[in-house]
Amino acid sequence: MTKVIVVTSGKGGVGKTTSSAAIGTGLAVKGHKTIIIDFDIGLRNLDLIMGCERRVVYDFVNVINGEATLNQAMIKDKRLEELYVLPASQTRDKDALTKEGVEKVINELGEKGFEYIICDSPAGIEAGAILALYFADEAIVTTNPEVSSVRDSDRILGMLASKSRRAEQGLEPVKEHLLLTRYCPARVHRGDMLSVEDVCEILAVPLLGVIPESQSVLKASNSGEPVIFDTESDAGQAYQDAVERLLGNSLELRFVNEQKKGFFSRIFGG
């Protein structure tokens, strides 16, 4: 059985691509045949974060237009046997993707035995984002702990419930997961950010994980290594937990409380 999972948010810059890369990689680490598809036409962030940007020859739009086969466009990960990326095109217009084209690609990936198809959505709630979520069985709603992001996530939840194929065909609804990213317990403590509890209460979606704001994310994206490989880092570990939960295992939340300050920072501030 193939599961199509969209990583979506409404708002841009909240961590969708970071999360698509980390979670897709985490599923492949667990032995699941996984492909991450970049729906963000024109931007091409995913291949940079995955570290395969130099190997892009054909892309998603080429496949949809019949200019390349899926086999020609899929990039196999260098590190993991079970992991593939389908890059977005950099130059074409944003309307290059069609529902029929996307459906054909998703069906073909199913025939190739992919267990997980991770759709990295563009920002917004217009055509591109709707197309990214249309075929989803599950949705990872990526949200930052701030009012504008929560509001946009709420809009996306509305779209999932009304504009997805599952909604159109009256099937079981898209299974929703909340992923709280760029979480900073100290700022929550100061009242500058919403808490996990606040966001959960407003959105009322089961929590998949809380990813702390972390330097390791930038380091990882600069080196083209999904942050989940950085097993020493808090963000890497938080993504590992999220993958476990996605696979049905229940784990306690980590990294949601303010770290006790050490002796020196208590004395000298910081």
Binding-site positions read 11-18
Site for ligand ADP contains 38 (CB under 6 A): no
Comparing CB distances to ligand ADP, the nearer of 17 and 89 is: 17
CA-CA distance, 222 to 136, in Å (whole number)?
Answer: 30
Closer CB to ligand ADP, 147 or 171, in the complex: 147
Q: Does 234 bind ligand ADP (CB under 6 A)?
A: no
Is residue 181 within the footprint of ligand ADP (CB under 6 A)? yes
Site map (CB under 6 A) of ligand ADP, residues 17-36, x = contact: xx------------------
Q: Which of residues 139-168 bind ligand ADP (CB under 6 A)?
A: none
Pairing of strands 175-183, 207-212: parallel
Compute the distance between CA of residue 20 and CA of residue 7 in angstroms, rounded to an integer.
Answer: 6
Ramachandran quadrant class, 42 (left: phi over 0; alpha: psi -120 to 50; beta: rest): left
- Cα-based distances in Å from 49 to 60, 88, 170, 182, 186: 17, 13, 36, 17, 28
Residue 86 C-beta: closest distance to Mg ion, Å: 14
Nearest CB to ligand ADP, comparing residues 34 and 237: 237
Give CA–CA dist 225/211, Å, rounded. Answer: 17
Show the binding pattern over residues 154-193: x = contacts Mg ion (CB under 5 A), - = does not: ----------------------------------------
Position among 3, 4, 6, 9 found at the interface with ligand ADP (CB under 6 A):
9
φ, ψ dihedrals at 33, nearest 5°: -70, 115
Cα–Cα distance for residue pair 145/190, rounded to 1 Å? 13
Residue list, annotated binding site for ATP: 11-18
Question: In this complex, which beta carbon is closest to Mg ion, that of residue 11 or of residue 177?
Answer: 11
Q: State CA 185 to chain mean position distance.
A: 22
3 versus 16: smaller Cβ distance to Mg ion: 16
* Contact (Cβ atoms closer than 8 angstroms) between residue 37 and residue 117: yes
Of 51-59, 82-90, 212-220, 251-259, the window that binds ligand ADP (rule: CB under 6 A) is: 212-220
Tokens of 263: 């002796």
Token code pair at residue 228: 């989940």
- DSSP-assigned beta bridge partners for residue 75: 85
**Separation between Cα atoms, residue 58 and residue 75, nearest integer Å:** 9
Regarding 10 and contact with ligand ADP (CB under 6 A), the answer is: no
Segment near ligand ADP (CB under 6 A), from 22-30, 70-78, 169-177, 209-217?
Answer: 209-217
Q: Residue 29: CA atoms inside 13 Å, Cβ hemisphere, count?
A: 18
Q: Where in 61-90 is the site for ligand ADP (CB under 6 A)?
A: none
Size of the site for Mg ion (CB under 5 A): 3
Kindly tell me which of 166 and 182 has the beta carbon lying closer to ligand ADP. Answer: 182
Sign of CA dihedral 109, 104, 89, 179: negative
Residues that bind Mg ion (CB under 5 A): 16-17, 45
Residues that bind ligand ADP (CB under 6 A): 9, 12-18, 45, 123, 181-182, 211, 213-214, 217-218, 221, 235
